[in-house]
Amino acid sequence: MDCPYCSGKTRVTDKRNSPEGVRRRRECLKCKKRFTTYEKLGRSDLYVTKKDGRREKFSREKLEAGIERAFEKRPVAKERIEKMINEIEEHLMRHGKKEVKSSAIGELVMKKIKRLDHVAYIRFASVYRDFQDIKAFKKELREL
Ligand SMILES: [Zn+2]
């Protein structure tokens, strides 16, 4: 973790576990400023609600698999895809909700993929969107 003041390297001076997560006291090796970070516990605490009402634990692996399939053989650097997946995961965790609809995740992923690669976007969207949405989907295709 870099220092928020000068982006220098930091070290952890104190670490405490609390019900809300891990609290770390850090000190910058360069400017010597001190600050505290909180790491929320339980990434797996997030549940995904499916269209049919079933709930399952959020799985980054599943998310990755779906996204990587969409980017297969596309000329997009692995690092950029990885970064995008991180952003999606962080976004979901930051919300602090215990539950998120699978459709909300789908929309978020599509928005992100669209910015990276249109072919991957179409692949992902065609798997993700259900048949009822076919009109909306065609409309989007025209807009690309
Ligand atoms: Zn600093």
40-97 pLDDT tens trace: 655 557 889 988 889 998 888 889 899 999 999 999 998 899 899 988 988 887 766 7
Buried b (16+ CB within 10 A) or exposed e, 61-91: eebeebbeebbeeeeeeeeebeebbeebbee
> How many whole angstroms from its chain centre is CA 46?
12
Q: How far is the CA of 43 from the centre of ligand 1 (A)?
A: 29
Q: What pTM did the predictor assign? A: 0.61
Report the separation in Å between the CA atom of 87 and the middle of ligand 1, taken as the mean of its atom positions.
Answer: 25
- Which residue, 47, 25, 57, 40, is CA-closest to 101? 47
- Measured in Å, residue 38 CA sits from the centre of ligand 1 at 18
Q: Which two tokens stand for residue 48?
A: 């995904």
- Whole-number Å distance, alpha carbon 9 to ligand 1 midpoint, is 7
